[in-house]
Chain A
Amino acid sequence: MRKELPLGIAGVVGFIVLLDYFLKMPSLNSLSKLLQDWAIIVSGFALALAAVNLVLRHTSILTQPQKKTDERIYSAFLLLGLAYFTITGISWGITKPPFKWAYDNFFSPVGAATFSILVFFIASAAFRTFRARNREAIVLLVCGVVVMLGNAPVGEVLWKGFPGISAWLMKIPNVAGNRGVMIGAALGSIAIGVRTLLGLDRAYLGLDQ
């Protein structure tokens, strides 16, 4: 019963939502809409569950004497930030100064800076590993350089043809390759979807197939 009940629920709910896509029946459509609303509510609780898990994990780091000092400092900082944003967001709202000030002056710049660090790693990696070792690598290298120059205004200044060639590469070879990948992924999704609806795929329950 532990396995059969959730599989049954998943199958029935999945079929209702799937049929809603193809049929125009008011009772079916409203039932499907209700189930989707419930899914939105469950998603909200999943976020809360993730926050609870985060608190438990980092509280245990704080209370374990064998953990290193810097680990405990990072965990303390995380819990402090979590508490601050939760309390200010619930008490005053996310658009009001206590939350917004910290978001605009701490969270947003740190997040942007963290992502921006990637450009240095990309430049270093490009210098060390982007090598024309064989014909395929040469094609990849040339196409990459042309697209980069087509994307940046300096490319057009160097030669007016770069944007046109870059656009052609994006429209023809890129679309051809991506279409193949997308069709393959779509067929795979259909197969997984059918298996999930029929209860053959149980990975989402944490069970072996």
Chain B
Amino acid sequence: MTTDRRVIYVLLAVCIAIPLVKPLGLPVSIGQPTRAYHTVIDALKPGDTVIMSLEVGVSTAPDVFPQAQAVFQHLMDKGVRVIIVTFAQQGALYTDELCLAGEARGKKYGTDFVALGFVPGAETGLAGFAADIKKTVPVDLRKNNTADLPILKGITSAADTKAYLGFSDGVPGPFEYVRQLQRSGVPILVGVVTVMGPQTEPYIQSGQVKGLLTGLRGAAEYEMLMKKPGAAVAGMDAQSAGHLLIIVFILLGNIGFAITRRKQPKGGA
């Protein structure tokens, strides 16, 4: 018996939409990589400077950008200064979104945070940026000279900062961050799309990456740790419904497969 795919599509759409309209309030437990991430950020002091790079695009922003928003909120609450940059073509406007969020919280552009815009060249751009920030980016996203910005006084390279927070959907990603930033000694914290989580785990165990946020779940866990549940936590109910439905589909498909196989004559006629 074959099933029309549209039945599957409609069921999935309904299952995902219902929790978005009427949240279920399912509990979100916290994983160890997210706790490690939060611990590193929590240990930062007011006035410390970190670098945040957003390698996201429009297609993956719903998975990764909530992580960056939650972490940025935490950094602003702690009075940590944030240098925001992107090595992805579509990332520049997401850096501006964070700046607008910072200004809405009463923070000052150029002093508490700065957006340096897009640096081309992927890993090569990252290497150049990590070696000399102001020389690689002489003008920021709002057309200010980076040499005149208070936040960059005394900051020449990534080694002069307290942490590097990379949010990635591909390249550059965790591998590139580790390759180019490891020798500077700056602690590396990574947020990735869900499918990149398994590939990044080895770097957690080796200690090269100090903390990991994976997908929307990572953002939801971080919001719970901050005791400020937001959009990510709200999305987890829909994700739960979607996952459960896909598992039901898999089970039904295998039950049908088992029944069909039993009905076939042995010997392969």
Contact = CB atoms under 8 A, between A and B. Distances in A.
Interface of A: 21, 33, 36-37, 39-40, 42-44, 46-47, 93-95, 100, 103-104, 107-108, 110-112, 114-116, 119-120, 122-124, 126-128, 130-133, 141, 145, 148-149, 151-157, 163, 167, 170-171, 174-175, 178-179, 182
A127 B9 CA distance: 11
B124 A119 contact: no
Contacts of B142: 95
28 contacts: A40-B128, A43-B120, A47-B89, A47-B120, A93-B143, A100-B93, A108-B58, A111-B58, A112-B58, A115-B59, A123-B245, A123-B249, A124-B9, A127-B8, A148-B246, A152-B217, A152-B239, A153-B236, A153-B240, A157-B26, A163-B29, A163-B31, A167-B32, A170-B198, A170-B201, A171-B201, A179-B202, A182-B199
B246 A40 contact: no
Given A36-B124, A40-B136, A130-B253, A171 B31 contact: no
Interface of A, secondary structure class, is helix
Given A36-B124, A43-B120, A93-B143, 6 more contacts: A111-B58, A123-B246, A130-B250, A154-B241, A163-B29, A163-B31
Contacts of A95: 93, 96, 141-142
Given A39-B124, A154-B241, A154-B244, A141 B250 contact: yes
Contacts, number: 161
Given A36-B124, A108-B61, A119-B12, A127 B3 contact: yes
B135 interface: yes
B185 interface: no
A124 B10 CA distance: 11
A99 B153 CA distance: 32
Contacts of A120: 8-9, 12-13
A178 B198 contact: yes
Interface residues of B, number: 66
Interface string B237-256: 10111111111011011100
Interface in B217-269: 217, 236-237, 239-247, 249-250, 252-254, 257-258
Nearest to B249: A127
A68 B141 CA distance: 42
A148 B252 contact: no
B131 interface: yes
Nearest to A117: B9
A127 B127 contact: no
9 cross-chain pairs, A with B, having the tightest CB-CB distances, nearest first: A111-B58, A115-B59, A154-B240, A43-B121, A153-B26, A43-B120, A127-B249, A152-B243, A152-B240
Contact of B120 (A44, A148, A153): A44
B250 A127 contact: yes
A79 to B, nearest CB: 19
Interface in B159-180: none
Nearest to B26: A153
B136 A37 contact: yes
B27 interface: yes
Scoring A95, A103, A120 by chain B CB atoms within 10 A of each residue's CB, the highest score goes to A95
B178 to A, nearest CB: 11
Contact of A94 (B92, B128, B183, B244): B92
Contact of B202 (A21, A131, A151, A175): A175
B27 A156 contact: yes
B57 interface: yes
Given A130-B253, A152-B244, A163-B29, A182 B202 contact: yes
B120 to A, nearest CB: 4
A33 B93 contact: no
Contacts of B194: 151
B132 A33 contact: yes
A58 B119 CA distance: 28
Given A127-B250, A130-B253, A178-B199, A153 B237 contact: yes
B61 A112 contact: yes
B201 A174 contact: yes
B92 A33 contact: no
A178 B201 CA distance: 9
